[in-house]
Amino acid sequence: MDHSTHTDHSVQKTPGAPETQGAHGGHNHDGMIADYRRRFWVVLIATLPILALAPMIQSWLGLEDAMRFPGDRYVLATLSSLVFFYGGWPFLKGFWREITARDIGMMTLISVAITAAYAYSMGMVAIGSDETFFWELATLIAVMLLGHWIEMKSVLGAGRALEKLASLMPDEAHLIAEDGSVGDVPVSTLVGGESLLIKPGEKVPADGIIIKGESSLNESMLTGESKPIFKALDAVVIGGSINGEGSLTIRVNKTGDDTFLSNVIKLVKEAQASKSKTQDLANTAAKWLTFIALGGGFGTVLFWSLFTGQGFEFAMARAVTVMVIACPHALGLAVPLVVARSTAIAATNGLLIRDRTAFEAARNINAIIFDKTGTLTKGEFGITDTLVFDSAFTEDDILTYAASIEAHSEHPIAHGIVRDAPEAWPVDKFKAIPGKGTQGNVRDKDVKVVSPGYLRDQGLTMNDPRFETLSAQGKTVVFVLIDDKLAGAIALADIVREESAQAIMRLQAMGIQCIMLTGDNRKVAEWVGKEIGLDEVFAEVLPEEKAAKVREVQSRGMIVAMTGDGVNDAPALAQADVGIAIGAGTDVAIETADIILVRSSPSDVVAIIELARATYNKMIQNLVWATGYNAFAIPAAAGVFFGWGIILTPALGAVFMSASTVICAINAQLLKLYPKVAPT
């Protein structure tokens, strides 16, 4: 049974629209909650005199003579009619919707049950009998309304994630005019290219580039990154992030549906709306349960009225209880609630799900192929080793002399040295040595930072075994000459991310084989693989060969995930059973992937797999509870345990049915994402 005939728990929300929409017969969730709450209180008030006037209740209390009066059964019938038509209206309306849609489900069961009880009771009044179900009818409807009210409040929490995301964007922006004046304009009017002022503590109103100022920005609600990120000139800022201590001027480059936040909301909507294989199973089970309940209800009436001496009233009570208690409400909600919850958790932690089926498949992954550059490594040169050949200098001296010279160079290797050096000193007479390095005068010393080729040209030999080791690892080694004497050497490589090794260890502990796929030379690849503990390395792979390598691993009978960030990774991402794109990567890679990690961190690969497994476990828990509950509840409702004195009234059946639904809702809310892998 498609549960959408009762409640669509997906959230339909667009940036700038403050209300959370959920199609519940065309009404929003908040309105439906208020409606159920109002109907419940009216029914509850009417139920109190119904209980007082019910002959059975009076008999139990020994108050028949004290509370009976002429025409009391007509007063009872009138109050019960109010309860039936006003309190039962949502269920009767739902029944009509299911019938016209030819999708018989929960509303049909409830409506048949309360209509049968009401019609039978009114017939008894017409013939002057006191054998009515009015008090059972009233309490049943009251409990059903209360259960729906509580359930919808529980469900609503899963959909609030999009509302929270949309609320991140401010309504107004400080627009800087051409004359330098600043005025407030609605964010909705921005088209791109405008200059905006962002004051300390304010939310960034749109995606843009910093053109003036520097500050730390809190992106935790967008990316899951808990620490504020320092950003300066030319850095990208995300709309919805919170500015820290500095004043910023940005140039808007994305607005409306093109913004990062809008894309996140779009992905969450699509993921929450998508059906899972587990959901299909639940729908099929719910459909069969509906027919079982209807058939069981009629069968119960026939059995107790024809083959026992309990009478038609007893038989009707059992049949009504069967149809109420067997409502597949919990079964219909078991999976959608977990889907909504997991998607919301993923989105607020920087894990964006584009394909729900692929996300569910992630729990079965037994091999992950990582791209190297930008995924396992930072994609930038950094210092790994410093060698000292002249005892007159320390490692810091070597680094500082080198950084002083390289500060005047634009080479990526130079940037790596400058970034990692303790400091830099003033330089005189700087000049480049074409194809070989740079040189200059630092503190009255002639300093050169040169390649191994320069040493060969100058006839300088290097027999230090440490250099041979670094070369064997594929690292780039530059030499530092001070006054034409070999003073030291600096080894650089693409820096391995701090969290890569721990992420790999966690994945291996989960039974997942970790493989690296790179176009880099074999020495570099093997060094990185050894550094972080990979199971296998594919090196010197051409871009067009990456998809073939994925197929090769798949041919071993493995379910394979591919993680990458570049254009040349797109075919491999598409070939893999689960494609995972690093969010800092290219648009091509992101559009090809099934899952997008906003942060460029291997720890998020661990997080998405753990979330996939936890989500599946919650789905199974809910399904087991929903089906197991019915396996016991339906026979009990039918009176199978009557011989042992166990009998369920329709109202008690409604309590059990509603309780099972609320349990599934609460269990879904207990889904958590465990802490991400921390840097070592």
Q: Active-site positions?
A: 371
513-517 vs 367-371, strand pairing mode: parallel
Distance, in Å, from the CA atom of 361 to the CA atom of 332, rounded to the nearest integer, reads 22
| Secondary structure class of 538 (helix, strand, coil) | strand
Q: What is d(CA 588, CA 349) in angstroms, rounded to the nearest whole number?
A: 22
C-alpha span between 548 and 588 (Å, rounded): 19
CA distance 323 to 311: 19
The Cα–Cα gap between 98 and 78 comes to 28
- CA–CA distance, 668 with 335 (Å, rounded to integer): 9
Helix (H, G, I), strand (E, B) or coil at 561: strand
SS3 assignment, position 371: strand
Site of tokens 């894309």: 263
Helices and strands of the chain, counted as H and E runs? 24, 22
Tokens of 568: 């040349």
Question: Tokens for 248?
Answer: 């910023």
By DSSP bridging, strand 242-243 and strand 195-198 are unpaired
In sequence order, the 6+-apart residues with CB closer than 8 A to the CB of 336 are 3, 9, 279
How do 595-597 and 578-582 pair as beta strands?
A: parallel
Phi, psi of 228 (to 5 degrees): -60, 145
**Cβ distance 249 to 196 under 8 Å?**
yes
d(CA 579, CA 595): 6
Q: List the end-to-end C-alpha distance of the chain, in Å, as a whole number.
A: 49
Sheet strands (E) in 45-193: 172-176, 182-186
The residue whose two tokens read 């190297």 is 372
Q: How many CB atoms lie within 10 A of CB 514?
A: 25
Q: What phi and psi, each to the nearest 5 degrees, are found at residue 88?
A: -85, -5
- And the tokens for 115? 């209509």
